[in-house]
Amino acid sequence: MAKRVVIALGGNAILRPNQEATFDNQMHNIKMSAELIAKIEKLDYEIVVTHGNGPQVGNILRQNEEAKAVVPQMPLDVCSAESQGFIGYMMEQSLKNALHEEELTSGVLTLLTQTEVSPDDPAFDNPTKPIGVFYSEAEAEVLTEEKGWVMMEDAGRGYRRVVPSPQPQKIHGVESILKLLKQNTIVIAGGGGGIPVVRNKIGQISGIEAVIDKDRTGKKLAEQLDADVFMMLTDVSNVYINYGKPNQEKLEEISVLKAKQYMDEGQFADGSMGPKMEAAIGFAMQGKKAIICSLDQAAEALSGFAGTRIVNS
């Protein structure tokens, strides 16, 4: 029986740090990512792909704010839905073309996915999710003063606007995803962490302004789908201890216990590797395999020959 993998695509799969968010740049990167995912399809896995949307949802929100005198502004959850739609469109098209090139017959379908969060999540009072483009410290100060944006330094790369990022509680559409996987279809779902929604006391859902972390949603999706493997594809080949120091050391296959120990030592930066390792440990604790590796080594890592693999042993 084919194994099931949930793949969370990092920012680089769509837009590189210093690139402008043009259609051509994003389409070019997504095409390259799709070719690499097609390699995984050859390994006989049922595949669900999720992806980030930080730069894109920030830009859509900004478009809305800048144009509000001529076109009514949409709330952040709608911006999230828009970003999920346009990235999903580009990814589905690119994946279909990549599979066609490889003479593979699998289908590809994007699902506009809603993710339930708790309205009482403390994240609503403490925005931490960076979105949109990077600014200098001086520009960030002006934006806070003039527009009221909350700005934060993002992993040594500059300042970005931050918004609330609640924990995903439940991802909608999982039963349908399972049916599609059984019909030889690669499913793109939960993009940008999913469109954040809350459920009220009488069971009705409605949107809420936030951006959910895609690695957390990827883990939740992998759990709900009972996946065998959860992979986070990023721009480094491995997770390291003492990262960036002369004594940095590459992690290959490590136990949950060891990973937790390194986590407690503060080896993984908040806002970058920290959330990935948190998601990896949480998933691997259930007796499954979590992998963090670079996009171009995804197929090798899945076969056990590359990346950092976290296992519960």
Ligand X SMILES: NC(=O)OP(=O)(O)O
Q: Residue 59 has which token pair?
A: 């830009």
Residues 6+ apart with CB under 8 A from 188: 48, 49, 50, 51, 88, 91, 92, 95, 108, 109, 110, 111
Q: 245 catalytic, yes or no? A: no
When CB distances are held under 5 to 8 angstroms depending on the partner's kind, the choice from ligand ADP, ligand X, none that residue 21 binds is none
Crossing angle for the helix pair 76-101 and 54-66, nearest 10 degrees?
130
Q: What does 84 bind: ligand ADP, ligand X, none (CB cut-off 5 to 8 Å by kind)?
A: none
273 binds ligand ADP (CB under 6 A): yes
Provide the Cα torsion 214, 217, 218, 223; round to 10°: 170
Contact status, residue 93 vs residue 124, Cβ threshold 8 Å: no
CB-based contact 164:193 (threshold 8 Å): no
Could you confirm whether 11 is annotated as catalytic?
yes
Residue 161 interface partner, choices ligand X, ligand ADP, none, CB cut-off 5-8 Å depending on type: none
Whether 3 sits among the annotated catalytic residues: the reply is no
Q: Work out which of 5, 180, 239, 291 binds ligand ADP, going by CB under 6 A.
A: 239
The residue annotated as part of the active site, out of 129, 219, 220, 289, is 129
Q: Under the criterion CB under 6 A, does residue 240 sit at the interface with ligand ADP?
A: yes
State yes or no: is 129 an active-site residue.
yes
Is residue 134 involved in binding ligand ADP (CB under 6 A)?
A: no
Of the candidates 191, 196, 240, the residue with the CA atom closest to the CA atom of residue 215: 191
Catalytic residue, from 11, 193, 271, 282: name it: 11
| Residues forming a β-bridge with 129 | 163
Q: Which of 268, 282, 294, 310 binds ligand ADP (CB under 6 A)?
A: 268
Measured from the CB atom, the residue of 110 and 234 that comes closer to ligand ADP is: 234
Pick between residue 151 and residue 181 the one whose CB is nearest to ligand ADP: 151
Among 80, 266, 84, 224, which Cα is nearest to 164's?
Answer: 80
Question: Are the CB atoms for 2 and 46 separated by under 8 Å?
Answer: yes
Per CB under 6 A, 243 contacts ligand ADP: yes
- Which DSSP string do the residues of 119-131 spell out, in sequence order? TT-GGGGS--EEE
Rounded to a whole number of angstroms, the minimum distance from the CB of residue 89 to ligand X is 17
CB count in 10 Å sphere of residue 190: 32
Count other C-beta atoms under 10 Å from residue 146's C-beta: 8
* Stretch near ligand ADP under the rule CB under 6 A, chosen from 22-30, 115-123, 262-270, 278-286: 262-270
Query: Which residues are 109's β-sheet partners?
Result: 187
Q: Does 269 bind ligand ADP (CB under 6 A)?
A: yes
Q: Residue 165 is which amino acid?
A: S
Q: What is the CA radius of gyration of the chain?
A: 19
Which among ligand ADP, ligand X, none contacts residue 272 (Cβ within 5 to 8 A by kind)? ligand ADP
Which of 29, 132, 218, 276 is flagged as catalytic?
Answer: 276
Residue 268's binding partner among ligand X, ligand ADP, none (Cβ under 5 to 8 angstroms by kind) is: ligand ADP
Nearer to ligand X, 32 or 43 (CB): 32
Is residue 250 flagged as an active site residue? no
Closest approach, Cβ 306 to ligand ADP, in A, equals 14
What, of ligand X, ligand ADP, none, does residue 236 touch, CB below 5 to 8 Å by kind? ligand ADP
Question: Which residue out of 214, 219, 220, 289 is catalytically annotated?
Answer: 214
Output the CA–CA distances (angstroms, integers) from residue 188 to 11, 30, 86, 138, in the order listed.
16, 13, 12, 39
Residue 153 binds to ligand ADP (criterion: CB under 6 A): no
We find the least distance from the C-beta atom of residue 151 to ligand ADP, in angstroms, to be 18
Instruction: Write out the catalytic residue numbers.
Output: 11-12, 129, 214, 276
